[in-house]
Amino acid sequence: MKKKNNTVKLNKFFLLGVVFLFVAIVVKLCYVALSAKVDDIDLKAFADNRNTAKQTLYAKRGSIYDITGEILAQSVNSYTVIAFLAEARTTDLNNPQHVTKKEETAKKLAPVIGTSEERILELLQFSRYQVELARGITELTKEAVVSLDLDGIGFVATSKRYYKMSNFASYTIGYARKDDAGEMKGYMGIESVFNDTLKGQDGYREYQRDAYGYQIPNTPAYTPVEPIDGSDVYLTIDNQIQIIVENALKNLKDYQMDWVTLTLADAKTGAIVATASTETFDLNTLNGLESYTHPLVAHSYEPGSTMKVFSFLAAIEDGKYDGAKKFQSGTYEVADVTIKDSNSAGWGVISYDEGFNRSSNIAATHLALALGTDKLKTYYRNAGFGSRTGIALPGELPGIIDFKYQTELANASFGHGITVTPIQLIQGFTAIANDGVVVKPYIVDKIVDQDGNITFQAKREELNRIASSASTKQMKEMMSDAVTSGLTDAKYYQSDIVSVIGKTGTAQIAEGGRYLTGKYDYIRSFAGLFPKEDPQYIIYISARKFVGPYTEISNAAKTVIEEVAKIKNISDEKSALDESKIIEMKNYISSDILITKEELENRGLKVYTIGTGSKIVNQYPLKNTKVIFGSKVFLLSNNFDYKMPNMINWTSSEVRTYCNLIGLKVNFEGFGSVIEQSIDINNNINPDDTLTIKLSN
């Protein structure tokens, strides 16, 4: 009996505990329900926050333009079509927020969004809450869907970067893509350097969401924080000249090489008007992308004899140069090293002026030894070598200007044992065009904000004076002689249209602590200016391990020089600048070929029709190009029965233009104007043929 009483007592205590706990819970619930705050937590705000969604309002990324206002990169809207299927979204039967008629929706949407009716119906029937019906539709397609007035159809707006000209100036422009967080981000080129400027500042909006994360119909949204769109960036690139440069490099595509780069700069201001490389890729698809560095600033190599312009100029400026003085060419002993000319047998006893024309390493060595290590090194550094130019492109290398011993000094005088980048050479050559003053190169002309205000405007920036006007004038004459004397490969850069001055360079390639010794293991280059008397442009071309005739490299540069001279009306003849002799080309594509030929001939142009068709399918020069009275014009017809014209006295660039239009391969021998052609006049042209052209010397 005693045991039973104890059990009863325990049961009573247990029941009392349960009752007490129940009462406590009820009291707590009442307290929570009636109180504004519990444990210092605002319950209403807490509930609101849990039901409040925050949506980013992305700023529109700024566009990239060329110097003429031609758009190169822009952001375009695209949309994803969403079908909402959860009936819980609809709170007002008169205003449905979900798909109510699946068959009708599928039938109407199919032709608009380019998806089959069966596929849309399948997605609608087997999805419970929502489903994507189409991605990447345009603004026009979106408007067409909206006009259908279908229940439960919504859109998710997004944007993508679009490059209208595909692989145009790819390494300069760079590309932008969305990262994992959905933010548009710039990679490479201007897109990377000016990412913060282009992207603007995102905003946001807040709204009440349902259990699926979507805005509850008929609920007010909070006042949004509006985004601030990005600024637009205008480059110094001239799209017309850029196209000329890129087309010139395309002519080399059949040859084996590591790369060829070609850049054109405004000689007076340092603005880069065109820069391209055989390394290129499609900005929209990234097809062809193999390197993430810009050839203009990240290719660092021994420059070879282009540096003689600066070692000779340093000697002239320091009073150490006498062009008539003689020296023994061929070889010269410096310490325990034998310095050699390209022709180790030499050319006998020659003057220093002839030594420059022949690109003598011995001449450069004598001058460098007379200057001394400190003076030549300081001179190179004042010209901008050995440090970054600061141009607005990523990955710029500083190059190496570091020599101490006599043998190193000798090598540095002809561009060996030191490294430079293409942009540094272009910067250095601005001194030749500006009476001895080095001008900083740049590639961004201006930045314009979303309200049209110019927030940055580039201007000419002088850096150092490295020579007097008299010294640079003397160097221009020497560079002119180097081209016209015919003693080196510089002769291949002569033009019948405009005077060109410059210097070639050939340098071995150093890899793994040694120089490569193969037949084509060189970097060959040319740095020049035109026209001679008042240089307007600097051109620099360099080629690494180019397996082919050197004339192909020179022809690429020469084509650019002559085409730019034509469209910019650059000539050594003052009369050529007469406005009455300047003719601007129109767009003649699809026009009648005979009527167009007559019109152009009446305007004083020499017209060559290609093929026997009646309509024009291509033309050269292109529309908006300015040509000089008497220039040749080529009109390609829609009949591909080609006959060989008489090319005698044509320039090499005119021959190349003709061959490019019809897809005919061509080889050149010599330089100057045409004196012989391998395909006879009026013979049929087979696309598999190769035309050989001999040029006058």
What are the tens digits of pLDDT across the range 197-250?
Answer: 999 988 877 766 665 555 555 555 566 788 899 999 999 999 989 999 999 999
CB 271 within 8 A of CB 441: yes
Please tell me the least confidently modeled range out of 262-271, 389-398, 638-647: 638-647
Tell me, which fold does domain 54-234 have in CATH?
Penicillin-binding protein 2a (Domain 2) (3.90.1310)
Please determine, for residue 4, whether its predicted confidence score (pLDDT) is greater than 70: no
Summarised one tens digit per residue, pLDDT across range 399-439 is 999 999 999 999 999 999 999 999 999 999 999 999 999 99
**Residue 30 pLDDT > 90:** no
Which pLDDT tens digit goes with each residue over 164-197?
Answer: 888 999 999 999 998 887 789 999 999 999 999 9
Choose the weakest-confidence range: 116-120, 326-330, 418-422, 581-585: 581-585
**Could you list the active site residues?**
305
Strands (E), 571-645: 582-584, 606-610, 616-620, 626-628, 632-637
Q: What is the pLDDT of residue 333?
A: 97
In which band, very low, low, confident or very high, does the pLDDT at 52 lie, cut at 50, 70 and 90? confident
- In the chain, where are the structural domains located? 2-51, 54-234, 239-574, 578-695
pLDDT band per the 50, 70, 90 thresholds, residue 32:
low
Least confident of 133-142, 225-234, 495-504: 133-142
State percent of the chain over pLDDT 90. Answer: 63
CATH number of 239-574: 3.40.710.10
Quote the crossing angle between the two packed helices 422-433 and 308-317, to the nearest 10°.
40
Tell me the chain's radius of gyration from C-alpha atoms: 36
Which of 12-26, 281-295, 678-692 is predicted with the least confidence, judged by mean pLDDT? 12-26
Q: Is the pLDDT of residue 158 over 90?
A: no
Percent of the chain, pLDDT > 70? 89
Report how far Cα 618 is from the mean position of its chain's Cα atoms. 26
Express each pLDDT in 651-673 by its tens digit.
777 888 888 888 888 887 776 67
Residue 234, strand partner residues: 65, 446
User: What six digits make up the tokens of 290?
Assistant: 């193999």
| Residue 341 CB coordination number (10 Å) | 22
Q: Coil, strand, or helix at residue 286? A: coil
Mean pLDDT computed over every residue of the chain: 88
For 536-560, what is each residue's pLDDT tens digit?
Answer: 999 999 999 999 999 999 999 999 9
Structure tokens at 613: 């068709």
Which range, 141-150, 246-255, 382-391, 616-625, is most confident? 382-391
Q: What is the CATH number of domain 578-695?
A: 3.30.10.20
* Choice among 48-62, 134-148, 185-199, 463-477 with the minimum mean pLDDT: 48-62
Q: Do 54-234 and 239-574 share a fold?
A: no
Q: What is the DSSP letter of 307?
A: G
Model confidence at 129, pLDDT cuts 50, 70, 90, reads: confident
- Dihedral angle of Cα 114, 119, 121, 127, to the nearest 10 degrees: -110
Ranking 91-95, 135-139, 316-320 by mean pLDDT, the lowest is 135-139
With tokens 């033009």, the residue in question is 495
Distance CA 502, CA 352 (A): 17
Model pTM score: 0.74
Range among 45-59, 478-492, 681-695 with highest mean pLDDT value: 478-492
Average pLDDT over residues 487-497: 91
Helix (H, G, I), strand (E, B) or coil at 524: strand
Report the run of H or E that residue 677 belongs to, with start and end: strand 674-677
Q: Quote the tokens at residue 292.
A: 């993430």
In single-letter form, the type of residue at position 398 comes to P
Q: Residue 151 above 60 pLDDT? A: yes
Mean pLDDT of 671-686: 86
